[in-house]
Amino acid sequence: MLNDQAHLNPKLFDDDIEQVPSRNGYGEGLVLAADANDQVVALCADLTESTRTEEFAKKYPNRFIEIGVAEQNLAAVASGMAAAGKVPFITSYAVFSPGRNWEQIRTTVCYNNQPVKIIGSHAGISVGPDGATHQALEDLAIMRALPNMVVVCPCDSIEAKKATVAIAKNSKPSYLRLSRSDVPVITTESTSFEIGKAEVFYEGKDVAIIACGQMVYRALLVAKELKEHGISIRVINNHTIKPLDQKTILKAAEETRAVVTVEEHQIHGGLGAAVAELISQNFPVPIKIIGIEDRFGESGEPEELLEKFGLTTENIKKAVLQVLRMKEK
């Protein structure tokens, strides 16, 4: 059953649930962060409107810098501003930042532990028709591997807003992964959010589904459907990939003894890999990882691509049944 303490959208399972790109929440959160702290600044690589940085630029023009199509400079300039006491947010498509400027993020930001906030928009295959060159499927992996980096993948626009405000305060290099396409709004302003703290959205004892981003919604649909068939699913919204909430994940592994992870990202190096690393060393249980299986994306409509790449409720159900059989052996 739904966790009443999670304070989720009462229209969660309705056909007309509101859908909003998570990048919209970033735009709102950036203005809120700037309202609260006059050291917050924003830099963009010629994608101000697409990344939803435009409202900040309108309200705080003296705190906004258009770098242009120069993502390496984007990271390096932001690192210098952070060293001078600013809280810089840098935005672009995720394939360009952190994709194109990973070395500058590594050396000028993380190595110096500067509190630059890297916002990777248009991530995942649900970018759609732009195709493989613009579909960042490896960004969680390359950012998770960096020392000092915080990595967050919010499940909807409201959580993205909260995450933006939170990383503005954490004094750490931080990466926020955002969607271009519409995502069901499953949380509310009352839903808890804390960096490094996963949230149990659906209670269950047979299998734990650990998800991030828009896959959390699909995991909830599966939990509701399988409940009618006598299978009890625990759904965990694991928005923070790093630092991982070890306590919540290990508790789920110990109590359910079967885990499925779901992400709109390569199966190598992302959420599933992080969870597998943790439970294999502490409380090994059967686990299935659902994500992009070692291939590039392609052009298509978001829902078509999610279907083709297996990021569906049907595939999640199959994985649930697989780990159930595995734990019974």
Active site members = 71
Q: Which of 116, 168, 173, 115 is nearest to 149 (CA)?
A: 173
Question: What's the CA gap between 191 and 6, in Å, rounded?
Answer: 6
281 close to 310: Cβ distance less than 8 angstroms: no
DSSP 8-state class, residue 63: G
Q: Is 289 helix (H, G, I), strand (E, B) or coil?
A: strand
Tokens 């060393």 correspond to what residue? 281
Residue 318 burial class via C-beta count within 10 angstroms: exposed 0-12, middle 13-18, buried 19 and up: middle
Question: What's the CA gap between 202 and 187, in Å, rounded?
Answer: 13
* Beta bridge partner(s), residue 20: 183
Instruction: List, as one string, the DSSP characters of 31-47.
Output: HHHHHH-TTEEEEESS-
DSSP 8-state class, residue 297: -
199-202 and 19-20: which strand pairing?
Answer: unpaired
Question: What's the CA gap between 179 and 54, in Å, rounded?
Answer: 17
* Beta bridge partner(s), residue 208: 234, 259
Q: Which of 256, 224, 250, 219 is nearest to 236 (CA)?
A: 219
DSSP 8-state class, residue 238: -
Asked if the bond preceding 154 is cis, omega within 30° of 0, the reply is no
Question: What's the CA gap between 209 and 49, in Å, rounded?
Answer: 35
Question: What's the CA gap between 215 and 124, in Å, rounded?
Answer: 11
Give helix then strand counts, H and E, for the chain.
11, 14
